[in-house]
């Protein structure tokens, strides 16, 4: 089904905004590809909903603009209202990105859990729960998620993941690493058993990269149970 001009225009604005953000922030290509995937799925979901009469064309357009607003607010959250809310919540959660990951590992998998011993799906559970907890701090975005399709929700969560990672890694001056396995041996050796096996000493690299964190937070098969 060919999209209506107003719907096609709304989607084009969303794609253009993300493209401009990607150029400005130099986001990882994996994040960019995943965003494009969910845009395509979101478009198909809206087309089907219109075709079967579940929503009107006006409602579909409204959903696209809501998603555009939410994703851009999250991606450009530094210094904004939602950014301050997330930062305040994260500061109450841990002293650094590594500290937050370690504490969430213990919260979800028990006091003896070691982040580096978790399966990929379990690590994604940690990432997803952190992003979900942060996004819940804003009633505005909770409201948006209740009225958009599954892929629309994932677009918001993807943008929220970018925001959470940037804010969390700015809590302390530590540099991100290329992947979450680069410093596996080092961090495992000096990690604190009391914090999910992760050391939070100053100067250490982050225990996970932005791409692993952001993409992992939307990759779980049971992701819809949170949204």
Q: What is the pLDDT of residues 3-16, one digit of tens each?
A: 567 788 888 888 88
- 101-139 confidence digits (pLDDT tens): 999 999 999 989 999 999 999 999 999 999 988 888 877
Q: How far is the C-alpha of 217 from the C-alpha of 127, rounded, in Å?
A: 5
Three-state SS across 6-73? HHHHHHHHHHHHHHHHHHHHCCCHHHHHHHHHHHHHHHHHHHHHHHCCCCCHHHHHHHHHHHHHHHHH
pLDDT score for 4: 66
The residues spanned by each domain of the chain are: 5-225
Half-sphere exposure of 5 (CA within 13 A, CB side): 0
Mean pLDDT of 166-180: 62
Two tokens, residue 43? 């478009």
- Please give the average per-residue pLDDT across 93-101, as a whole number: 89
Is the pLDDT assigned to residue 174 strictly greater than 70? Answer: no
Higher local confidence (pLDDT), 152 or 191 = 152
Report how far residue 144's alpha carbon sits from residue 161's, in angstroms, rounded to the nearest whole number: 16
pLDDT band for position 202 (cuts 50, 70, 90): low
């Amino acid at each position: 089904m060919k999209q209506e001009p107003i719907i096609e225009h709304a989607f084009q604005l969303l794609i253009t905004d993300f493209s401009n953000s990607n150029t400005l922030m130099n986001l990882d290509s994996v994040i960019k590809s995943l965003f494009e995937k969910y845009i395509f799925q979101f478009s198909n979901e809206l087309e089907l909903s219109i075709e079967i009469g579940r929503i009107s064309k006006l409602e579909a357009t409204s959903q696209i603009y809501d998603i555009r607003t939410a994703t851009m607010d999250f991606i450009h959250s530094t210094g904004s209202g939602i950014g301050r809310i997330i930062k305040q919540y994260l500061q109450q959660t841990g002293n650094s990105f590594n500290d937050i990951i370690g504490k969430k590992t213990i919260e979800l998998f028990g006091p003896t859990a070691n982040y580096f011993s978790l399966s990929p799906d379990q690590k994604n559970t940690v990432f997803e729960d952190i992003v979900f907890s942060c996004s819940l701090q804003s009633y505005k975005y909770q409201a948006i998620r209740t009225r958009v399709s599954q892929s629309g929700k994932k677009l918001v969560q993807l943008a929220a993941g970018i925001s959470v990672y940037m804010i969390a890694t700015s809590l302390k001056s530590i540099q991100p690493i290329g992947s979450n396995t680069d410093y596996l041996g080092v961090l495992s050796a000096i990690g604190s058993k009391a914090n999910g096996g992760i050391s939070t000493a100053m100067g250490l690299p982050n225990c996970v990269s932005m791409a692993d964190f952001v993409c992992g937070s939307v990759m779980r098969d049971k992701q819809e149970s949170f949204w």
